[in-house]
């Protein structure tokens, strides 16, 4: 069922993003007086199509890895002299620049609309309160204390843990971090400098909080089972949702974390587990299955989840804005994520971020499915970020991409004449090789994560 949800989620996400992107090209082309021959979502032979009164064919094809808008163009085939004025190649360079730019700009506009909807609807976030600090760590050496809220990082506000992680990811490669903090119940803030060396460089995946020695505060989780997975060791032992784990091998279990750690430390061992159920206590034999981690360690796993607990109101924060104020917030958020994406590309090029962080269709499908299951809020946020990424990537000055065409047209605008067809063809071949290589790398790293 999870695989089907992932597939459906990625079809929805990519379908919306591709349609909006191509519609941007289509809309501006029509207004520049260019005849559009075909508007296709997907590649290959269309399995559904229709033609409008302008002679434009609309179709949906079977390979959902992109789309295209085919315009009348003398470089791609003979054009009736009566329609020459409708051909893309006969338009001024500035109109061609407008048509090519419109696709990525439509993706940025989609992100703004998605963020606007989230800001108007309002979101409930968790206050980024520090729960514990490792003594011999950057945070510990800087004197960061538990029950301290992280108000800002490097001068940028962090109203939630999502924002904290974004700021820390944006600081990859830095040698110092400045945290603005506030003790619980206090009004005054203080700045604390954390000394780091090439922060998060070569980490795959990056683990910013672990690297700093910070554990997020969370309410204590009683060792009560919220769900038991079919076919797992917990089900085989007779454990049920609602059971409270009292002790293991005669030693009391403090909380859920204590239970998890003791299970992880006993792969393949039979444990005597005392549980409380419906006012009675019962002893069960639980044998955790062995699970191999990426680092070679083998840990125990039983296939059970914790019962959810409510967060105290003082540790929750409601973020919402009126329709007008949300516009500015949405534009700012889109700009911020655009800068973060560009900076991440720069850091990957200079070696601060490992290429293995590239994500392909498999990872996108997994995240799309996870966010869809987490609710509309998470799904919209993911779609907005993916739309920004698509817009940024398409604007990179690589032939084949929109940014490569823009580069050719800008050179033409400066020179007063286009580059020779031989130069453009050579650039397209190089661009295709580069984009193809990046896609293969992304798929390879996807498979590595999957395995």
Contact predicate 364/383, CB 8 Å: no
Place of tokens 């079977």: 62
The tokens for 146 are 């538990």
Place of tokens 């009004």: 187
Q: What does residue 182 show for φ and ψ, rounded to 5 degrees?
A: -145, 125
* Residue 49 to residue 45: CA distance in whole angstroms: 10
Contact predicate 413/359, CB 8 Å: no
Distance of CA 1 to the CA centre of its chain: 22
**Closest by alpha carbon to 232, among 299, 298, 288?**
288
Instruction: Determine the Cα angle at 343 with ends 337 and 344, to 5°.
Output: 90
3-state secondary structure of 294: coil
* Residue 277 to residue 239: CA distance in whole angstroms: 10
Contact predicate 93/409, CB 8 Å: yes
Alpha helices in 314-415, H assignment, sequence order: 323-349, 361-374, 376-394, 402-415
Instruction: Determine the Cα angle at 75 with ends 73 and 79, to 5°.
Output: 50
Judge whether 377 counts as a catalytic residue: no
22, 163, 184, 422: the catalytic one is 22
Dihedral-angle region of residue 149 (phi above 0 means left; psi in -120 to 50 means alpha; beta otherwise): beta
The H-or-E segment that residue 51 falls in is: strand 36-51
Beta-carbon-side half-sphere exposure of residue 171 (alpha carbons within 13 Å): 27
Alpha-carbon torsion, ordered 21, 118, 184, 150, to 10 deg: 10
The tokens for 347 are 């850091």
* Residue 109 to residue 103: CA distance in whole angstroms: 10
* Residue 387 to residue 21: CA distance in whole angstroms: 9
Q: Which residues pair with 282 in a beta bridge?
A: 275
List the catalytic residues. Answer: 22
């Amino acid at each position: 069922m999870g695989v089907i949800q992932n597939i459906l989620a990625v079809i929805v996400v990519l379908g919306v993003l591709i349609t909006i992107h191509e519609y941007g090209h289509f809309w501006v082309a029509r207004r520049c007086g260019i005849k559009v021959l075909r508007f296709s979502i997907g590649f290959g032979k269309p399995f559904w199509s229709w033609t409008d009164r302008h002679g434009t064919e609309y179709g949906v094809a079977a390979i959902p890895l992109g789309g295209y808008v085919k315009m009348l163009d003398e470089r791609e085939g003979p054009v009736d002299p009566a329609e020459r004025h409708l051909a893309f190649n006969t338009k001024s360079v500035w109109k061609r620049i407008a048509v090519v730019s419109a696709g990525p700009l439509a993706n940025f506009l989609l992100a703004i609309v998605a963020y606007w909807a989230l800001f108007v609807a309002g979101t409930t976030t968790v206050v980024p309160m520090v729960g514990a600090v490792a003594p011999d760590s950057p945070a510990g050496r800087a004197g960061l204390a538990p029950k301290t809220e992280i108000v800002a990082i490097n001068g940028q506000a962090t109203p939630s843990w999502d924002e904290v992680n974004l700021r820390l990811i944006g600081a990859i490669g830095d040698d110092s971090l400045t945290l603005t903090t506030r003790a619980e119940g206090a009004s005054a803030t203080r700045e604390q400098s954390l000394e780091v060396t090439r922060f998060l460089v070569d980490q795959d995946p990056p683990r910013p909080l672990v690297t700093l020695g910070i554990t997020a505060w969370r309410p204590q989780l009683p060792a009560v089972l919220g769900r038991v997975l079919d076919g797992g060791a917990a089900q085989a032992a007779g454990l049920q949702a609602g059971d409270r784990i009292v002790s293991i091998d005669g030693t009391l279990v403090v909380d859920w974390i204590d239970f998890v750690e003791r299970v992880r430390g006993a792969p393949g061992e039979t444990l005597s587990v005392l549980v409380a159920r419906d006012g009675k206590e019962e002893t069960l034999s639980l044998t955790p299955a062995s699970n191999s981690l990426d680092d070679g360690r083998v840990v125990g796993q039983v296939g059970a989840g914790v019962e959810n607990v409510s967060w105290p109101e003082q540790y929750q924060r409601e973020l919402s804005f009126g329709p007008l104020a949300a516009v500015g917030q949405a534009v700012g958020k889109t700009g911020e994520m655009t800068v973060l994406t560009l900076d991440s590309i720069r850091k990957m090029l200079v070696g601060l971020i490992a290429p293995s962080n590239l994500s392909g269709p498999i990872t996108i499908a997994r995240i799309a499915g996870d966010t869809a299951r987490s609710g509309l809020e998470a799904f919209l946020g993911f779609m907005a970020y993916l739309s920004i990424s698509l817009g940024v990537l398409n604007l990179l000055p690589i032939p084949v991409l929109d940014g490569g065409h823009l580069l050719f047209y800008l050179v033409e605008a400066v020179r007063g004449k286009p580059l020779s067809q031989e130069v453009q063809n050579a650039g397209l071949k190089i661009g295709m090789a580069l984009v193809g290589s990046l896609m293969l790398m992304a798929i390879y790293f996807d498979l590595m994560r999957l395995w």
